[in-house]
Chains A and B, each alone.
Chain A
Amino acid sequence: MKQFQYIRAANQKAAISSLTKSTSAQFIAGGTNLIDLMKRGITSPDTIIDINSLPLRHRIVCRRSKNWCTCTQ
């Protein structure tokens, strides 16, 4: 697995701004769809943004196109 920068997002805004700062940043929650691909070298994000500590359990709408993700709660 290639090295990456790990960021534990403090809040939603910070998470989204971290995502937009890099072209290959990825959110991580469970990791089951990301870490196996990283191990195989299929994807190698330079930044991993951990969103586990964010209060996203209630409702989240995520629209994603290219590397843009807009989330509303």
Chain B
Amino acid sequence: MSDKNNESIPEKECKNVNESRRDFLKQTSLLTGLALTPAAVLKAAEDKWDEDFASSLEKVPLKLEINEVQKRISVEPRVTLLDLLREQIGLTGTKKGCDYGQCGACTVHVDGKRVLSCLSLAIMHQGQKVTTIEGLANGENLHPMQEAFIKHDGFQCGYCTPGQIMSAVACIREGHANSEAEVREYMSGNICRCGAYPNIVDAIMEVKEGGHHI
């Protein structure tokens, strides 16, 4: 039956069928390629914006100094500084508490200022210096604030402690540790579920009054 059919179609016609199939494949793959190109890339290419733009579906190169180490990483624009530190860099000392800026567990220093890393996109910190709890100690010597937290028992479960310590250091550097009331006010962004507040305040006051260079 099939032999008979083949015979009935002239050779020339067969060739045409093959060619058109090849063309069809070429066309469809070209169209698929175009369809898969991110719209944002096409749009940016069309508009030729002079801003430093990052395409929405691509990873973006990012240069950061983390704990005095230069890092070159590529991140998606939607990655928060917290997720970058914990999941890409592997610095899990910075804790993810609420992930909505309510608890302060994720506090880090960016260019010396305290920042909630969960509410900050990594890409916003191009070229800046990030210090986490891991970068506070000087080698084997703990930072005076870390020593004071241990001495005064400024924690129970310890989950909020990295954020508390980063905030406490910034609090003194900002000059907002002149009284217990002031410390409580300027540390109010850091929540401690275990209720170690009196001990945390004691630790901060001791470091402040000890005149340590922090």
Residues of A that sit less than 8 Å from B by CB: 1-10, 14, 18, 21, 28, 30-32, 35-36, 38-39, 46, 48, 50, 52
Taking CB atoms, residues of chain B closer than 8 Å to A32 are: 101, 116, 119
| Interface presence of B202 (CB below 8 A) | no
B50, A7: Cβ atoms closer than 8 Å: no
Give Cα distance in the complex from A14 to B49, angstroms.
9
Establish whether residues A21 and B47, one from each chain, have CB atoms under 8 Å apart when the complex forms. yes
Partner of A5, one of B40, B120, B121: B40
Report if B206 contacts A (CB, 8 A). no
Show 22 A/B contacts (Cβ-Cβ < 8 Å), sorted by A.
A3-B77, A3-B78, A5-B53, A5-B55, A6-B56, A6-B77, A6-B123, A7-B49, A7-B52, A8-B52, A9-B51, A14-B50, A30-B119, A31-B121, A31-B124, A32-B101, A35-B119, A35-B120, A39-B100, A46-B56, A50-B123, A52-B124
| Contact of B167 with A by CB under 8 A | no
A1, A8, A18, A35: residue with the most chain B Cβ atoms closer than 10 Å? A35
For A8, the chain B residues whose CB sits under 8 A away are 51-53, 126
Closest to A22 in B: B43
Instruction: Name the one of A5, A10, A36 contacting B54, with C-beta atoms under 8 angstroms.
Output: A5
* Nearest chain A CB to B122 CB, angstrom units: 10
Q: Using A35-B119, A36-B100 as known contacts, say yes or no to A3 and B60 having CB atoms under 8 A apart.
A: no
Which residues, 160 to 193 on B, are CB-close (under 8 Å) to A? none
Q: Contact at B121–A2, with CB atoms within 8 Å?
A: no
**A-side contacts of B100, CB under 8 Å:** 36, 39
Residues of A within 8 A of B47 (CB): 21
Bound Cα distance from A19 to B99, whole angstroms: 27
Residues A50 and B124 in contact in the complex (CB < 8 Å), given A3-B77, A7-B52: yes
A6: contacting residue among B99, B116, B121, CB under 8 A: B121
Contacts of A5 in B (CB 8 A): 40, 44, 53-56, 77
Question: Residue B80 at the A interface, CB < 8 A?
Answer: yes
- Answer whether residue B194 sits at the interface, using C-beta atoms and an 8 A cutoff: no
Cβ contacts under 8 Å, B49 to chain A: 7, 14, 18
Residue from B77, B80, B118, B120 in contact with A4 in the complex, judged by beta carbons closer than 8 Å: B77
**Residues of B close to A50: CB separation below 8 A:** 123-124
Residue B65 is within 8 A (CB to CB) of chain A in the complex: no
Q: In residues 41-100 of chain B, which contact A (Cβ within 8 Å)?
A: 44, 47, 49-57, 60, 76-78, 80, 99-100
Give Cα distance in the complex from A10 to B50, angstroms: 8
